[in-house]
Amino acid sequence: MLKNGQQLLSLFRQSTYLKLFLLAAFSTLLNACSTAPTISSEQSNKPRVLQEQVQLTGRISIQYQQREQAETIILGYEWQQAPKELFITLSSPIGTVATIEQNSQGATLKQAKQEPRTAMDIEQLLADSLGWSIPITGLRGWLQGFDIQNGKAIAVPAQNYFQLQTQGWQLQFVSWQEDAGIVHPTRIDLQRFTEELGEVKIRILIDKWEQ
C-alpha cells in the first residue's frame, strides 16, 4: 500500500549521491526565507480576493514518523487550481512521484508503472498510496493567504510569521510578497500530531505564482 513512498525512501538510502542531494536540499529548504522579506504596510493592507484560478510551483518538505523512525520527504510541486478542479504534480530528483487530479467525481492518483487509484477523499488517497499526506482541502485557501470556513474565504493578515490554528493544523505564514498586484504567501509552515504519523511538520515554499 505504501510502495511508492517506501521505494522513494529506499532509493535515497541506497544512493550516496541522492543522500547528499537530500541533505543539501533539506538544508536549503530549512534555511530558505530564514530572513523573511518584508512587504510594505501599503502592500499588506491591500484588499485581497481569493482567486478562482491560480498556478503555483515550488518546493515542499514533509517530516513524519514511520515505524518509530523519523522520515523526511523533499519534493517539488506544480499546483494548478480551478473552481471545480485541481491538478497537482509531485516530483523528486529522480522523476515524477505522482500526479493527482481532483474534480466533482472524486480524486485520481497516478504513479509510474502502477494502475491509477481513485477515491472521493483526496487526502486519504495520498496516505494510502504514498504513506503520507498533505492537507489539500486547506491548502486551496492557505496557499493564497485565505482560510476557508463553511464556504467563506477569510483573508489571513499579510504579516510575516502570522500564526493561525485551523482545521486541526497549526500554521505560520512566514513570509509574503506581491506579484502582478496580488499579495500572497511565499512560505507556510504547518504542524500537527497524528496517531498514524506522529508529529507531522510541513514546510511549503512558493517559488512562482501565476493566474
127, pLDDT greater than 70? yes
Would you list the domain boundaries of the chain? 3-210
pLDDT at position 56 over 90: yes
Sequence-distant (6+) residues with CB within 8 A of 150 are none
- Residues contacting 88, CB < 8 A, separation 6+: 77, 78, 79, 80, 99, 100, 101, 136
| In the predicted structure, residue 188 carries a pLDDT above the cut 60 | yes
Say what the pLDDT of residue 196 is: 86
**Topology given in CATH for the domain delimited by 3-210:** outer membrane lipoprotein receptor (LolB), chain A (2.50.20)
Predicted confidence band of residue 19 (pLDDT cuts 50, 70, 90)? very low
Q: Answer whether residue 76 shows pLDDT above 70.
A: yes
Q: What's the confidence (pLDDT) of residue 28? A: 58
pLDDT band at 12 (very low <50, low <70, confident <90, very high): very low
Q: For helices 16-31 and 3-14, what crossing angle results, to 10°?
A: 100
What's this model's pTM, rounded to 2 decimal places?
0.84
Tell me the mean pLDDT in the region 39-51: 89
